[in-house]
Amino acid sequence: MASANDLNALYSIPGVLEFTTGPNELVRAEITSPSCSAELYLHGAHLTQWKPTDTAEPVLFLSPLSGFAPGKAIRGGIPVIFPWFGARSEEVTGHSKDGGQHGFARTTEWEVAFAASVGDAVHLVLTFGPSNATRALGFDGFRAALEFRLGEELHVRMTVANEGSEPLVFEEALHTYLQVGDPEQVKLHGLGQTEFLDKFDDFKRKTQDNEVLTLTGATDRPYLNTTASITIEDPAFARKLVVGKGGSRTTVVWNPWSELSGTMADLGPDAWQHFVCVEAANAFEDRITLSPKAAHIMETTISVEPLA
């Protein structure tokens, strides 16, 4: 794995992009441009911070209790979920159920492949491919890339290529933690009349009748067969967050609320009061079956607007 010094020699942009060493020697990219500030760890290709310059509050929530360590997922920001969502299932693998929660991409050390400053935005591309650890889990003929465009808006594009000779079946998600002033006040637009699986009610299939979703308790809902953008009204921060997506047919909305937040050692009992997750994904019946020599792209965009 390249050191921060090695990466600076290849990719640093004076005054804009620098590679440094964070907790437990994890290498990260620090971005400070005229349009935004951001922080991206190579561990999991994990974006932990992004804030447009003219925005008062951070856009991404990062748990103050998050562990930054090899082999451990970072809590908050945008974890990259691949090649399965949640617990590994036979539907994804065809045979095996071994492997950790949400796959191995979020605990893998990715490599920097490209960095540039274009206008006021910074472009970064990270990649990873098969290793002995992924092959032991049955994943060999794949390659993944994440492209970040960090400016007044955030664009994240995930590409998965099947370099093998057999179909590649996988799930994926950009598990975005959005910082909000008060989740009990937020209103989510864009999911009305959409079917979802209620993970807190035995995965029952339901339809959201209301055009506006408000949160009143622990929520974990994969919304299925939807390509809609989501707008989150956040009165406490007097702003709207607009989350668009492409190549995604699942949208996941998650907040553990008070009854579950304290059970997570890297989250804490009060953390639920500061975020809501809205995730671009392809999971469950929207999982991807990728033909040999083909590629699939999923992307998400986030912008911040004042709340009228």
Three-class SS of 190-236: CCCCCEEEECCCCCEEEECCCCEECCCCCEEEEEECCCCCEEEEEHH
Give per-residue pLDDT as tens, 39-71.
999 999 999 999 999 999 999 999 999 989 999
pLDDT at 93: 52
Q: What residues are annotated to the active site?
A: 175, 279
Residue type, 61: F
- Residue-wise DSSP of 176-193: -EEE-S-TTT-EEES-TT
User: How much of the chain exceeds pLDDT 70, in percent?
Assistant: 97
Give per-residue pLDDT as tens, 73-123.
999 999 999 999 998 876 655 545 667 789 999 999 999 999 999 999 999
Q: How far does CA 231 lie from the centroid of its chain?
A: 17
| Gap between the Cα atoms of 288 and 83, Å rounded | 10
Give per-residue pLDDT as tens, 117-137.
999 999 999 999 999 999 999
Average pLDDT of the segment spanning 240-255: 98
Q: Which of 184, 165, 203, 187 is nearest to 292 (CA)?
A: 165
Upstream peptide bond of 70 is cis (omega within 30 degrees of 0): no
Residue type, 255: N
Q: Which of 75, 27, 88, 12 is nearest to 48 (CA)?
A: 75
Q: Which residues pair with 52 in a beta bridge?
A: 36
Q: Where do the domains of the chain lie, and which CATH numbers do they carry?
A: 4-306 (2.70.98.10)
* Residue-wise burial string across 129-159, b where 16 or more C-beta atoms lie within 10 A, e elsewhere: beeeebeebebebbebbbbbbbbbbbbbbbb
